[in-house]
Amino acid sequence: MTSIARENNVSVNTVQRVLGSCSHRFLDSYEYLPAHLAFDEFKGVDRQLHFICLDGDSHQVVQILRTRYKKNLLKYFGRFSPQARANVRTVTMDLNFYYQDIVRACFPNAQIVIDRFHMIQMLTRSFNSLRVKVMKTFDKRSRQYQLLKSPWKLYLKKFDELEKVHPRYNWHYKDCLTQAQVVTEGINANTALENSYNLMQDFIQAIETGNTQKLKSLINCKDQIGTLMHKTLLTFKYNLTAVLNGAELPYSKMVVLKASTAKLNKLNELPLAILVLPIS
């Protein structure tokens, strides 16, 4: 207590009061788990990545653990009764492969849900990598290079949100174009870039509308696309059921985490010894 008080410039009584007010967070009951969970990691006060488990319905923090390694997570969830683990229906996560192993080992009735934000992030990164690769094939003074370089953020927006009526002059490519015209001319510089952009846009729309049949078609796309985009689609294909669950079910890890940001910020103000539970 004294060392914690000294490190945080407070009295020992203050430390005791804070610990008392937070104690309910660390008294685990291993007889119940929410029906819908979300797994992720976050950077704690010691700048290390820690594991966090959230309730997908109430957005409450279920548990924060010092470590995010597979053997420790299996040990933690293995403490829960079979009835508690059987109560879990969905677990939302990114494409961390061992999180899926944990779900299969610990939660016999749970569906794996890949969160929508993570899928879209993978696609946009794949497209952006190809955009840079294509851009570098042109002379830096060329119109094509400037169209692909300076307005790069436009390529990552949904096409429906681009300005299509009021053109604006840009001194980089010395022309007056709408945002939609910039993107259209830019992607026309390369067939693979155009195909990848259209696939990304269609995928985002299918995710937002929950169109699983369209997603299946896009994942099995045979068009010429970038190498990284192709690898991303192969990853989605390998995890097809979980990816389709992400589009179809109303659980998104990022929505849950945003709702919990304030809670995490408050927890991060506490010393690490209070914040993160070890696996004993």
Q: What are phi and psi of 110, to 5 degrees?
A: -90, 140
Judge contact between 207 and 116, C-beta under 8 A. yes
Nearest to 250 by CA among 207, 219, 205: 207
> Nearest Cα to 41, choosing from 99, 124, 110?
99
Q: Please check whether the domain covering 2-114+252-275 is classified as CATH 3.30.420.
A: yes
What 3-state class would DSSP assign to 271?
coil
Residue pair 39/49 in contact by the 8 Å Cβ criterion: no
Which pLDDT belongs to residue 188? 96
Q: What is the pLDDT of residue 75?
A: 94
Separation between Cα atoms, residue 145 and residue 135, nearest integer Å: 5
Is a pLDDT exceeding 80 seen at residue 248? yes
List of residues 6+ apart from 214 with CB closer than 8 A: 202, 205, 206
Give pLDDT tens digits for 42-82.
Answer: 877 667 888 989 998 888 888 888 888 899 999 999 999 99
Which amino acid, residue 200? M
CA of 266: how far to CAs of 22, 68, 269, in Å? 11, 21, 5
The per-residue pLDDT for 161 is: 95
Higher-scoring residue by pLDDT: 260, 146: 146
Residue 170 corresponds to which tokens in the numbers above? 């840009």
Question: Which residues have CB under 8 Å from 123's CB, separation 6+?
Answer: 199, 200, 203, 204, 229, 232
